[in-house]
A and B are shown apart, each in its own frame.
Chain A
Amino acid sequence: MTTKSPGKIHVTTTINGQEHELLVPPYMSLLDTLRELIGLTGTKEGCLDGNCGACTVSVDGRIVDSCLVLGAEVNGKNVDTVEGMATAEGLHPLQQAFLEEAALQCGICTPGFLVAAKGLLDNEPSPTEGRIRHWLAGNLCRCTGYDKIVRAVQKASS
């Protein structure tokens, strides 16, 4: 069953509403699958060990660190990334709020914060500040922009 060069895995998955058929190396992360096989480079690589949340995506409606998921694991699942947030009509309310509140500096952490915050607001439209801070504890911003990020999420909540 296993050899020195294990065979690729056939994966059918829906990414941002669009079905993809992929041949994924069995040890390739979902992060690399998105960035290198599909070309969706909005999802960022940070720490590669689950501390920073820069690679946050949503799988079947739950936010995960895509560096700690294998591409092979998303067979049959729905994956949503930052590229799926804006529509033809315009930016997602969270993206608009991040712009208006200047909730980013270098921007590397931003896709992860946006996807994580969307995961919160999709289920809890009016979270408290404490709830927002707790929910986003798995996302790090090294430009130390947390206050502005939290204000932006509050602005986008109803």
Chain B
Amino acid sequence: MHPFAYVAPTTVAEAVAVLTEHGDRARPLAGGTDLLVKARANAWELDAVIDIKNIPELMTLSVNGDGLSIGAGVPCYQVYDNSDVVAQYPGIVDGASIIGGIQVQSRAGLGGNLCNAAPSGDGIPALIAHSAVAHIANSSGTREVAVEDFCTGPSRTVLEAGDLLVSIEVPKPAANSGAAYTRFIPRNEMDIAVAGVGVYVVLDDSGQNFVSGRIALASVGPTPILASEAGDSLAGKPVNDETIAVAAALAKNAATPITDMRGTVDQRKQLVEVLTGRMINKAVERARG
């Protein structure tokens, strides 16, 4: 492992200054569960790591009238241990609960999951389905990027030298809405998704018709994918098997997987169709309460 310096700033401005100074030879350290593995494997040669866990706004998890704010360094366990998040954002909790084992969840968070930009990031599809927005700071100010636009390729994001992810902002869920995420893995725990599907749906007051929907996929393309046509197909349709089958087939079409050690193209596309149907049904169940 290339020897790096360790700095622990207490403000966003200080962290951004170090990031700006070192460019791509410095990385923010949140949980370290990806960073230290990559540094040790010499996939990243770093001169500095910037521990962000002493910066208050990066460690704040809050639920209020505007929605959910997840600081970039908040670990997964704080997400699924928060009763307000569990009640209002169960799809996000579904993802946060299955990233690694308990040890990893003590440290790893959704911010790091997003910045790591693995196609299989279990934390990302539910954020996309919820229309979450990444708040980014750099030396010239701040900007916002929709989470579906954040990852640009495997391990690649919109972040440029000197950029720091500060928080992920999730809008307050609509009335009569529900969300869910699941993945397929051959084991019960501790594995990387062969395919994953996150769904957010809004129903009308009767609970019998879809008002809108958003569907996002993991592990079936170079980045997590927003399956727009699949989600849009739900709008205005009755909640029934036919509506759900149409959306699931469109999600399958949106998947662009590869064949690798975890699964084949055909298996992954089939999984997307099956999991999309299941997750729409689960989201509907949660929307109906």
Tell me, yes or no, whether A5 is within 8 Å of chain B by CB. Answer: yes
Whether B21 pairs with A53 at a CB distance below 8 angstroms is: no
A80 to B220, CA, bound (A): 41
Q: Is B77 an interface residue (CB 8 A)?
A: yes
Closest partner residue, chain B, to A8 (CB atom):
B6
Q: Which residues of A contact B8 (CB under 8 A)?
A: 72
Cβ-based interface call for B265 (8 A): no
Complex Cα spacing A42 to B104, Å: 20
Closest residue to B38 on the A side, CB-wise? A49
Q: Does A138 contact B (CB under 8 A)?
A: yes
The number of residue pairs between A and B whose CB atoms lie closer than 8 Å in the complex comes to 103
In chain B, what residue has the closest Cβ to A57? B103
Interface positions, chain B 97-144, Cβ under 8 Å from A, are 100-104, 106-107
Q: Are B37 and A63 in contact (CB under 8 A)?
A: no
B interface bracket (residues with beta carbon within 8 Å of A): 35 or more
User: Could you tell me the distance between the alpha carbons of A65 and B100 in the complex, rounded to whole angstroms?
Assistant: 11
Q: A1-B48, A49-B40, A51-B190 are in contact. Are A62 and B18 (CB under 8 A)?
A: no
B51: Cβ under 8 A from any A Cβ: yes
Contacts of B158 in A (CB 8 A): none
Nearest chain B CB to A152 CB, angstrom units: 18
- Docked CA distance A77–B29 (Å): 17
- The reply on B32 being an interface residue by CB < 8 A is yes
Q: Specify which chain A residues have a CB less than 8 angstroms from the CB of B190 in the assembled complex.
A: 51, 137-138
**Cβ of B79 to closest chain A Cβ, rounded Å:** 14
**In the complex the two chains form, what is the Cα distance from A59 to B32 in whole Å?**
14
Flag whether B10 is at the interface (Cβ < 8 A): no
- Which residues of chain A in 11-61 are interfacial with respect to chain B, using CB atoms and an 8 Å cutoff? 25-27, 29, 48-51, 53, 56, 59
Q: Are B188 and A29 in contact (CB under 8 A)?
A: no
> Is the beta-carbon distance between B102 and A119 smaller than 8 angstroms?
yes
**Closest beta carbon of chain B to A50's beta carbon, Å:** 5
The distance from the CB of A51 to the nearest CB of chain B, in whole angstroms, is 7
